[in-house]
Structure 1
Amino acid sequence: MNGGLYRSTHAAPDGEPAGQEGVTVMSVDGPADTPGQPEQQSSGSTAGQSAIMAIGSLVSRVIGFVRNALIGMALGKAVGDAYTGAQFLPGQIYELLLGGVLSSVLIPLLVRRRKSDPDGGQEFTQRLLSFAVVMLGLATVLVVLAAPLITAIQTSSDKTSPAFRDLVTNFAYLILPIIFFTGLSALIGAVLNVRGHFAAPMWAPILNNIVVIAVCGAFLLIYGTEKALTAENITGAQIALIGGGTLLGMVVQAIGLLPALRKVGFHWAWRWNPRALGLGEIGRLAGWMLCYVGANQIAVFALIRTLNGAEGTTNPGAQAFNNVFLLMMMAHGIIGVSVMTALLPKMSAAAADGRFHEVSEELTRGIKLVAAALAPIVVVYAVLSKPIAVFLFQGGRITNDDALAMGTVLTVAAFAVLPLSISFLCTNAFYALQGNKTAALINLPVVAVRIAGYFILAAILNQSLIAAGMTAANGVSYLVSALISLAVLRRRIGRLSLGSVFTSLLRVAVAAGVAAGVAYLVVRLLPGSGAPDGRIEAITQLAVGGVVILVAYLGTALLLRVHEVSQVVGMVRRKIGR
């Protein structure tokens, strides 16, 4: 979910690698194919499709960080933690209602109906949207009515004050209706993706972020930053402005997607005929997905309780965790999600036709590409974590110490980015194969590892490291998920060329290690020595350290003949020459 709302990391968030040249993406808008025959492939490459999405995602997420920085400046740590806690709620409930089912069931189903129905799946999609809108509306109303009970459960802790719990509830009343508009946006995005249009879903969140940025600007102008905000002294008008502005942002995002539907030739007509949807089939496929998502939300529940239990201590808190999570998801979204969003329709079509070797080839190619593209970002997050946090989040009611604490969490998060994206690729491969039961069963031990990590690390770590510990537990669970998934996929679809994957990952790791070592030494010689006191020092460290990392990584990767990096460099050279 965009805008800083937590979403299950194994269910596609907002929908995003630059792919190898010559890799094509299935076009469902082309000539109708005879059932059983290979589909006509478009001339556009995975790289071209992903580039559009990656640029949109990057712009959206950069603006999203401006948004989150302003929220922190406006609210500070105490109220910011309550606001962030309330934002977790619609993300959890959305995932249970639609999030995982959308990527694992509905998109593959829409692809099949797009190819097989005489009208290209238009009427089926209209019926699906009509049914989903009604169900989302009813669910949203019920959840808003139950807001006090939901927040009481998530904030029940001996260390959580009644005022903090009440504040989370008040924010929840305003923010929970986001569930409806998030679901609407996701459904429209799925319709557009199936019809080969990827740009609008990537760019629409920018509208959301601009609205919230404007609201935060108004908050700062009206109320200033001189007085520290707490759960006890924040006013109803301040809560209404921030909470209502957050909801308005998602409403604008959903509306902003409607013109793109007309562009792809889809006409939204009300068709209420649930029986014609084949809900039995959807239900059978979705059942295991609900098990999968439900297990993830238990982990989120444990996470929020742990973070809320440290409210008022030296723990960086939910706001810091969420800010770092957004940074991690930015890297994952620009690279990993772009890859899978472009490849999922093609993989689904290949799986439906029994061409498992193509599924294997695309998954292997995706892992190599994601690793090569994410490695320098991992190094940047690990080496430049504190200047990044100071540059993005310090200001207003967020102090330098608060920002440096977020930097510590980001250092840990750097090592979770690559396992996250690889596990995401593998899970979506199961979706393409309609292996929802397998994905759900794999997820059970993964969630068990994650929750155990939360409780163990919370018990042994200093309070100031709780958020970092929760991030480390996530990273370990992503790695476990990737390893189990690859082993099962190899048995399901055949050879995955894991030897070549390992060789590629090893070369990427060496290149990343060289870049990290050189950058670490250089940054320690700069003013602030890696822990900047203010934005000037942070900008200096980011500029110098970023250039060193990029040059060192690219140079070493080219020397080691990392194929994916060589392709990207070659493509850039050709475009510059042209």
Structure 2
Amino acid sequence: MSRVLRASAIMAAGTMVSRLTGFARTAVLASAIGVATLGNAYNVAYTIPFILFDLLIGGVLSSVIVPMIVKAQKHDADGGRAYEQRLMTIATLVLLAIAIVGVLCAPLLVSLLTTDLPPRGYDVAVTLARYILPQIAFFGIGAIAGAILNTRDRFAAPMWAPVLNNVVVIVVAVLYLFASDAGGDIDAVTSGDLALLGIGTTAGIVVQSIVLIIAVHRVGFRFVPRLGLRQARLGEMGRAGVWTLAFVLINQVSFVIITNLATGAVGKAAAQGAGDVAGIASYSYAFQLFQLPYGIIAVSVITAMLPRMSRHVHDGRPEAVAEEFASGVRLVSSVIVPAGLLLMVLGPAVTVLIFGHGSTSVPQAIDIGNVLQVFGLALVPFSVYQLLLRVFYAFGDTRTPALIALGNLAVSATVSFVLYLTLPPDLIVMGLALAFTAAYGCGAVAAWILAARKLGTGLGGRAVGTALARMYVAAVPAAAVALAALWVTTELAGISPLSSAVMLVAGGAAGGLLYLLISHRMRIAEISSIIGLVAGRVGR
């Protein structure tokens, strides 16, 4: 576990700064454009390139490329250099073509993602999408560069590069605040305002890609365009990539359902004269906050685990894969267990402090917080599910994750539609978050059973279950302290950005410290290791 912890600590530091600047980015954007029609239109346009990238090539890059690069490094005479160059060349050309087609098809893409979006909102979303879609071409460069760095156990740059992306978009949002008189009013926004928001968003990804290119150059990678398709092992990649494509397609269908139902909730509320309710912007912002603890610790551990597990598989050591996985789950859970409980208690306090300014009102920020509270339920099953997928990817198995994802889609779609039809408009987006929780809870159980069978050695379920139970025992008092701070502060001062800051300091910080103290006294090894690592760093 110590090797994973050290590698994860490097990545977690970068990820923490990245996520914090991402919070600042999201908060400034929400203050600038709000979470009503303009905010919804921006978030629809912003998600389109990510959907296309993941659907057409991103899933293959994230699940197939790292094991294939490791294989090339082991077996190719040149250590896999030519193979890496071919991957970079092919990915760049393919994604450039996709970006061009995407810009031309922007109206169709916006229509597929929305339901009952007002005409002005639709036009704005299409315009923003055309500015933002070119960034797809840079996604592939960054993804291949990150994979090359990961196989060389260089994890810092991929985790720190998004910081510059966030800084660029923050600057753009601040410029919009000062240069535009429209604010969150979609009827007042001008073509120049939209160009600033759209081009500025794309510029952030361009800067991020440049940083990663510099990083791979420093580790000795030299890009030479190569178009030898036979040597690129596209057949092998395609066999694995077919199921990866199915996996990504299934997940994107789920997301398309969510965006349509979330935008439909706003239209449903308008038809009933119910006023403003949470829409896709509120869902997106809550989801970004939900991913903070997952991104800081789970993504870091996952990124460190996959190359190691891939090597264990190639060496014929399934027991080492199981040990690596169990260690990773315990390490991740030591952070996400208390984080999930604290989000369930302090979600509105977090969102009012971050979003309750400018074009986003305090009630709108509370709506985001209520969605975040529901997402708190999903934090543990979602993180464990993502860790389990890497067991299959280490074996080059992309079929099983796709079949599990199909089950997730069935659960998510069924629950989402039932709640959309039965809940009042102001609760629909919370219902969508609950459907997400149900889907990943079922998915984690199914993935665990199938991964244990694949290894034949088990996954250390009893030890992991015991560790999780002890972590929850340590975390419940922390959540109780946070709940008490929330109640007292609300009774005395109501809910405002200032009182929310007090709640977070009194409840979140105190609860977090109490969890560390209790878990340390309970000798939860993962927490003791983290404390020891931090103390060692500080003591230097």
Q: Same fold (TM over 0.5)?
A: yes
Match of residue 111 from structure 1? 70
Note the alpha carbon deviations across 1:311-344, whole angstroms, 9 max, x for none: 3543211111111111111211111110010010
Check the 8 A contact 2:70/2:151 in 1, yes or no: yes
Alignment-mate amino acid for residue 223 of structure 1: S
- Residue 525 of structure 1 aligns to a residue whose secondary structure is helix
**In the alignment, is residue 437 of structure 1 matched against residue 387 of structure 2?**
no
Match of residue 518 from structure 2? 556
User: Aligned partners of 1:405 and 1:570: how far apart in 2?
Assistant: 39
Check the 8 A contact 1:524/1:530 in 2, yes or no: no
Among candidates 84, 94, 101, match of residue 43 of structure 2: 84
User: Aligned partners of 2:318 and 2:527: how far apart in 1?
Assistant: 27
User: Aligned partners of 2:143 and 2:310: how far apart in 1?
Assistant: 19
Among candidates 347, 371, 375, match of residue 309 of structure 2: 347
Match of residue 287 from structure 2? 325
Match of residue 355 from structure 2? 393
Note the alpha carbon deviations across 1:505-547, whole angstroms, 9 max, x for none: 11111111121112212331225569622x2211111111122
Match of residue 36 from structure 1? none
Match of residue 127 from structure 1? 86
User: Aligned partners of 1:65 and 1:549: how far apart in 2?
Assistant: 21
Check the 8 A contact 1:386/1:530 in 2, yes or no: no
Check the 8 A contact 1:350/1:358 in 2, yes or no: yes
User: Aligned partners of 1:66 and 1:517: how far apart in 2?
Assistant: 28
Structure 2 gap segments, 5+ residues each: 270-275
**In the alignment, is residue 231 of structure 1 matched against residue 186 of structure 2?**
yes
TM-score after normalising by structure 2? 0.95
Among candidates 191, 194, 206, match of residue 163 of structure 2: 206
Alignment-mate amino acid for residue 213 of structure 1: I
User: Aligned partners of 1:50 and 1:196: how far apart in 2?
Assistant: 11
Against the structure 1 CA distance between its residues 329 and 112, is the aligned structure 2 distance closer, same or farther, given a 3 Å change threshold?
Answer: same
The 5 A counterparts of 1:47-196 are 47-76=5-34, 77-155=36-114, 157=115, 159-196=116-153
Check the 8 A contact 2:92/2:138 in 1, yes or no: no
- Residue 268 of structure 1 aligns to a residue whose secondary structure is coil
Against the structure 1 CA distance between its residues 385 and 282, is the aligned structure 2 distance closer, same or farther, given a 3 Å change threshold?
Answer: same
- Residue 57 of structure 1 aligns to a residue whose secondary structure is helix
User: Aligned partners of 2:213 and 2:62: how far apart in 1?
Assistant: 20
User: Aligned partners of 2:309 and 2:237: how far apart in 1?
Assistant: 19
User: Aligned partners of 1:185 and 1:50: how far apart in 2?
Assistant: 20
Match of residue 452 from structure 2? 490
Match of residue 272 from structure 2? none
Check the 8 A contact 1:219/1:238 in 2, yes or no: yes
Note the alpha carbon deviations across 1:381-424, whole angstroms, 9 max, x for none: 12211111011111110111111111111111111111111000
User: Aligned partners of 2:220 and 2:13: how far apart in 1?
Assistant: 24
Alignment-mate amino acid for residue 532 of structure 1: I
Against the structure 1 CA distance between its residues 531 and 377, is the aligned structure 2 distance closer, same or farther, given a 3 Å change threshold?
Answer: farther
- Residue 189 of structure 2 aligns to a residue whose secondary structure is coil
Against the structure 1 CA distance between its residues 577 and 171, is the aligned structure 2 distance closer, same or farther, given a 3 Å change threshold?
Answer: closer
Alignment-mate amino acid for residue 325 of structure 2: L
Against the structure 1 CA distance between its residues 128 and 480, is the aligned structure 2 distance closer, same or farther, given a 3 Å change threshold?
Answer: same
**In the alignment, is residue 282 of structure 1 matched against residue 240 of structure 2?**
no
Against the structure 1 CA distance between its residues 269 and 542, is the aligned structure 2 distance closer, same or farther, given a 3 Å change threshold?
Answer: same
Check the 8 A contact 1:103/1:431 in 2, yes or no: no
Check the 8 A contact 1:387/1:531 in 2, yes or no: no
User: Aligned partners of 2:414 and 2:195: how far apart in 1?
Assistant: 37
Among candidates 456, 460, 465, match of residue 502 of structure 1: 465
User: Aligned partners of 1:277 and 1:572: how far apart in 2?
Assistant: 43
**In the alignment, is residue 46 of structure 1 matched against residue 1 of structure 2?**
no
- Residue 384 of structure 1 aligns to a residue whose secondary structure is helix
User: Aligned partners of 2:489 and 2:159: how far apart in 1?
Assistant: 37
Alignment-mate amino acid for residue 144 of structure 1: V
Against the structure 1 CA distance between its residues 380 and 529, is the aligned structure 2 distance closer, same or farther, given a 3 Å change threshold?
Answer: farther
- Residue 526 of structure 1 aligns to a residue whose secondary structure is helix
Structure 1 gap segments, 5+ residues each: 1-19, 22-44
Alignment-mate amino acid for residue 427 of structure 1: L
The number of equivalent residue pairs is: 531
Against the structure 1 CA distance between its residues 488 and 72, is the aligned structure 2 distance closer, same or farther, given a 3 Å change threshold?
Answer: same
Check the 8 A contact 1:56/1:202 in 2, yes or no: yes
* Superposed displacement of residue 80, structure 1: 0.7
Check the 8 A contact 2:482/2:503 in 1, yes or no: no
Quick one: percent identity of the two aligned structures?
A: 36
User: Aligned partners of 2:52 and 2:385: how far apart in 1?
Assistant: 22
* Superposed displacement of residue 243, structure 1: 0.8
**In the alignment, is residue 299 of structure 1 matched against residue 261 of structure 2?**
no
- Residue 415 of structure 1 aligns to a residue whose secondary structure is helix
Match of residue 196 from structure 2? 241
User: Aligned partners of 2:322 and 2:516: how far apart in 1?
Assistant: 28
Against the structure 1 CA distance between its residues 198 and 571, is the aligned structure 2 distance closer, same or farther, given a 3 Å change threshold?
Answer: closer
* Superposed displacement of residue 577, structure 1: 5.2
Alignment-mate amino acid for residue 64 of structure 2: V
Match of residue 210 from structure 2? 255
* Superposed displacement of residue 232, structure 1: 3.0
- Residue 266 of structure 2 aligns to a residue whose secondary structure is coil
* Superposed displacement of residue 271, structure 1: 1.2
**In the alignment, is residue 532 of structure 1 matched against residue 491 of structure 2?**
no
User: Aligned partners of 1:256 and 1:566: how far apart in 2?
Assistant: 35
User: Aligned partners of 1:410 and 1:229: how far apart in 2?
Assistant: 22
Check the 8 A contact 2:4/2:305 in 1, yes or no: yes
TM-score after normalising by structure 1? 0.89
